[in-house]
Amino acid sequence: MVLQRHDHRGQAVLKGGGLGFTLDDVAYLGGDEGGAALAEVDALALTDASRISDIASARARFGDRAAVLVETTLLRRKAKVKFPHAGQWLFTGEALEQSTAAAVAAHRAERLTGRAVHDVTCSVGTELAALRDRADRVVGSDLDEVRVAMARHNVGRDGSTVLLCRADALAPVTRDTTVVADPARRSGGRRTFDPRDYTPALDELLEVYAGRDLVVKCAPGIDFDQVRRLGFDGEIEVTSLGGGVREACLWSQGLGRPGVTRRATILDRAEEITDAESDDCPVAAPGRWIVDPDGAVVRAGLVRHYGARHGLWQLDPAIAYLSGDELPTGVRGFEVIAEFGLTERTLRQELSARDVGALEILVRGVSVDPDELRTRLRLRGSQRLSLVITRIGAGSASRSVVYLCRPSR
């Protein structure tokens, strides 16, 4: 919710969505006067309870500038989740929403160390900030002149060697550079799932930069088969951070390792695994522990490879759960206490007998809503345990199984 800039009645008016910044706004916010004003506005709480009165105070003090001051202050506070050191940055709401988390951008920049890199969709400069510390030369461009101006404020000052210009990503303005692109994946406020509907479209990026070293950030749920049908023959890297899958990134053949077409990168544990490794992972009954692999491993289709690396096995060849008698270092697991069929009567009896009052429920391969099941079980005990519910077997031999477990942490 932001203050409308065009209201002149002296009243704090809120509207949904983001504010449209202008070049004049960027010049003001990046100058001494705007910097001092931002410091004053940052002293305001701007909570849900105080926001209307705080905005009224900002308008009384700064007039029509209050809108961009309040919006920038709120965006900076929101940005701290992704960018701990971006306290003086300028953002638009849409640019911040799509921006890459600092740790993910740093990982990508690490893979591009020593190269000349051109970010052709640089937006406000979040990727550039990571690249300038690793790449040999860095160029940033964007079709949006306001975002280019913000990028110049964010990463182009104080002797920075980052070159910035306004340009269309589909009209190359550099040669002999590795091209990085982060296409917009929203249209009219809605997320787009077909990469041909990205802005710029993935198929057009692949065509324009054919033969060039190219890196394209995509949605984590992108259809790998469709990407191949569009002509991409390089590596697809799926990256997770903070327990969640953040992105799928395309690396053209010249940037990858020979023989690697899929990679899972788990930044929390600094672990990577690729499809060039062994996938010799047997299927067997559960051992002491059940492991739910990191989402990047599952999304990249590398569950068997991960199991083979860590001496684990699958419970079922079509299900992502793994098992073993020892947990991989740093990995959360579920120690098996009991196994039984999926009936609510049995569940209630088993959980009541163990005085369970808090229950984590994991489900794969079975149509069960964890929240609804938890409500129906009406737990009243004092102990905390976990349920792993899955399908074992195929066809007529298929059965739903429940593993009652104690989480490792």
Map out the domains of the chain as residue ranges. 2-79, 98-272, 289-407
Tell me how far CA of residue 237 lies from CA of 97, 202, 247, 291, in angstroms: 21, 16, 8, 22
Supply the pLDDT for residue 227. 98
pLDDT tens-digit series, residues 201-228:
999 999 999 999 999 999 999 999 999 9
CATH class of the region 98-272: alpha beta
For 29, the token pair is 């916010």
Averaged confidence pLDDT in the chain: 93
Strands (E), 94-223: 116-119, 137-142, 163-166, 178-181, 186-187, 190-191, 214-218
- Cβ neighbours, 10 Å, residue 46: 18
Supply the pLDDT for residue 396. 87
Supply the pLDDT for residue 15. 40
The Cα–Cα gap between 49 and 282 comes to 57
pTM: 0.91
pLDDT tens-digit series, residues 275-307:
999 999 999 999 999 999 999 999 999 999 999
DSSP string covering 385-400 = EEEEEEEES-GGG-EE
Query: Can you tell me which residue has the tokens 């008698």?
Result: 325
Contact 108, 96 (CB under 8 A): no
Q: Phi and psi for 361 in degrees, rounded to 5?
A: -120, 120
Round the CA-based radius of gyration of the chain to a whole number and report it.
25
pLDDT tens-digit series, residues 250-279:
999 999 999 999 999 999 999 999 999 999
Residues of the chain with pLDDT under 50: 1-2, 5-17
Mapped to the 3 state alphabet, what secondary structure does 18-77 carry? CCCCCHHHHHHHHCHHHHHHHHHHHCCCCCCCCHHHHHHHHHHHHHHHHHHHHHHHHHHH
